[in-house]
């Protein structure tokens, strides 16, 4: 399993995170956004990814406009977005990415950026969003036509199956690929993907960390038996690389 995540982390880099030289300047913080009151995913990322690996970050329950994102090493939306994107704001996000920005959408972030909360199953992404996300739609596994658990989609299918009645909700989100490149998944359906936009990138992270952690607690799994530790290491390695990128002029 360790070799799997090392390979996945290396693929993240090859798809757009190491196309610049390392910088030796003032450390910039990550911006972590998630709407309240249910912020479990943001709490997990802040505590177990960012703090645990010494990464500077700023937390906000409110929407910070894309014009301010350039002040940060990257932007992470973990869980529900504080704001639904209209066409004008989506264009601002695209401009930020084209100029070297990094946006990471975790779990339910992509659905909440694109559609109101009453859209529960799957939905085509608006044109203003899909062109920088690099996907046609987001979808949760039970709503994928003829969905069958596959290890190339979800490497923990045997130990962390889809059981919403036990764990509350879907442990991960998927997206159907257009121009994005799959890190974990298939050519058409990805759970982790990168879409390069100009000199920046949109990064889709479908797994929900806090639900993986919940599963490990319920099943009383030792760290070496569950997915959390290696998944967090993969995320942290990628974030450290992003943080060390030089600021765009």
Q: What is the pTM of this model?
A: 0.80
| Residue 198 scores a pLDDT above 60 | yes
**pLDDT recorded at residue 217:** 73
Q: Per-residue pLDDT for 158 more than 50? A: no
Confidence of residue 180 (pLDDT cuts 50, 70, 90): very high
Question: What residue ranges define each of the domains in the chain, with the CATH number in brackets?
Answer: 2-144+173-243 (3.40.50)
Structure tokens at 238: 């990628």
Cα four-point dihedral sign 238, 243, 246, 248: positive
Taking only the tens place, the pLDDT of each residue in 69-97 is: 999 999 999 988 999 999 999 999 999 99
> 101 and 198 in contact (C-beta within 8 Å)?
no
Please write down the HEC assignment for all residues of 193-210.
Answer: EEEEECCEEEEEECECHH
Contact yes or no for 231/5 (Cβ under 8 A): yes
Name residues whose C-beta falls within 8 Å of residue 49's C-beta, 6 or more positions apart in sequence.
55, 209, 232, 235, 236, 239
The answer to whether 135 and 175 have CB atoms below 8 angstroms apart is yes
């Amino acid at each position: 399993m360790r070799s799997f995540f090392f390979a996945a982390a290396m693929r993240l880099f090859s798809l757009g995170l190491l196309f610049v030289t390392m910088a030796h300047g003032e450390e910039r913080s990550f911006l972590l956004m998630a709407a309240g009151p249910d912020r479990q995913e943001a709490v997990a990322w802040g505590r177990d990814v960012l703090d645990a690996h010494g990464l500077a970050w700023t937390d906000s329950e409110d929407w910070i406009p894309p014009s301010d994102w350039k002040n940060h090493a990257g932007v992470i939306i973990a869980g529900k977005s504080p704001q639904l994107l209209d066409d004008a704001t989506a264009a601002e996000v695209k401009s930020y990415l084209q100029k070297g920005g990094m946006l990471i959408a975790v779990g339910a972030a992509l659905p909440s950026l694109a559609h109101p909360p009453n859209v529960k199953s799957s939905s085509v992404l608006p044109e203003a969003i899909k062109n920088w996300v690099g996907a046609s739609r987001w979808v949760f596994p039970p709503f994928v036509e003829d969905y069958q658990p596959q290890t190339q989609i979800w490497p923990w299918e045997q130990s962390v199956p889809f059981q919403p009645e036990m764990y509350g909700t879907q442990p991960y989100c998927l997206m159907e690929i257009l121009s994005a490149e799959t890190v974990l998944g298939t050519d058409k359906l990805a759970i982790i993907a990168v879409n390069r936009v100009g000199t920046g990138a949109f990064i889709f992270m479908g797994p929900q960390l806090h639900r993986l952690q919940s599963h490990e607690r319920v099943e009383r799994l030792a760290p070496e038996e569950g997915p959390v530790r290696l998944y967090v290491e993969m995320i942290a390695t990628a974030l450290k690389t992003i943080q060390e990128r030089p600021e765009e002029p």
